[in-house]
Amino acid sequence: METAEDLLIAKDHLILKTDTEMKESVYGKLRTIYLLRTIKDPEKPQTLEQLDVVYEDCVSVCHCTPGGVSVIRVEFNPTVPHCSLATLIGLCIRVKLERHLAALFKLDIYIKEGAHSTEQEINKQINDKERIAAAMENPNLRELVEKCILEEDY
C-alpha cells in the first residue's frame, strides 16, 4: 500500500484525466494527510500518525459551500477518552493546516465521534476562530504549538 507521501508525489499522474473538482479533492486530501503525519504529540516523542491519532481515513474533502469552496474535514482520535491534551492537538492540526491550505480550503476539525468524554466542547473550541486567535496570542501556548508542528525529517 502506498503512503500518503507517495501518493502526493504521484498526484500529477493520478489526476491528469479528472475534472477540476476531483483534482482539488484528491490534492486536498493527499496534501492534508502529508501535513498531518509530521505533527508531534505534545507529551510523547511520537507523531500523531505513529500514535494513530490521525490516519489516512481521517481526512475527507467535500464540495459543500455555496461559494464552491472545498471543505476539508479532519477527524482525529485521541489516545484515551479523557485525554487532557485533545484541545491542544486540535489546535496544532488547525494551525498547521491553516498555514498551508487556508486559501484553498475551509477546514472543519473534529474529534472522532464517541472517542472523547468532552468531544462536543472541544469541537466547538477548535472550530471557533476567535478562540483559536486568543489561544495563539498566549506565548507559552504558541511556543508549544510551534514545537509540535515543527517539520523534521522522518
> So what's the pLDDT on residue 100?
85
Residues 50-61 have pLDDT tens digits of 999 999 889 988
User: What is the band of 17 on the pLDDT scale with cuts at 50, 70, 90?
Assistant: very low
Within a domain: 107:
yes
Within a domain: 35:
yes
Domain of 41, in residue numbers = 4-149
Within a domain: 154:
no
Mean pLDDT in residue range 108-117: 94
Cα 85–52–118 angle (5° rounding)? Answer: 35
> So what's the pLDDT on residue 64?
67
Within a domain: 61:
yes
CB 136 within 8 A of CB 142: yes
User: Between 22 and 127, where is the model more confident?
Assistant: 127
Q: Which of 19-23, 44-48, 94-98, 129-133 has the lowest mean pLDDT?
A: 19-23
> So what's the pLDDT on residue 149?
96
Say which residues have a Cβ less than 8 Å from residue 146's Cβ, sequence separation at least 6: none
> So what's the pLDDT on residue 141?
96
Within a domain: 135:
yes
- In SS3 terms, the chain reads as CCCHHHHHHCHHHHCCCCCHHHHHHHHHHHHHHHHHCCCECCCCCCECCCCCCCCHHHEEEECCCCCCCEEEEEEECCCCCCCCCHHHHHHHHHHHHHHHHCCCEEEEEEECCCCCCCHHHHHHHHCCHHHHHHHHHCHHHHHHHHHHHCCCCC
CATH number, domain at 55?
3.30.300.130
> So what's the pLDDT on residue 13?
37
The CA–CA distances, whole Å, from 36 to 29, 98, 114, 151 equal 11, 12, 21, 11
Please state the domain count of the chain.
1
User: Model-level pTM?
Assistant: 0.80
Asked if the model's pLDDT at residue 20 lies above 70, the reply is no
User: Between 15 and 71, where is the model more confident?
Assistant: 71
Name which of 62, 97, 95, 90 is nearest 75 in CA terms: 90
Asked if the model's pLDDT at residue 26 lies above 80, the reply is no
Asked if the model's pLDDT at residue 93 lies above 60, the reply is yes
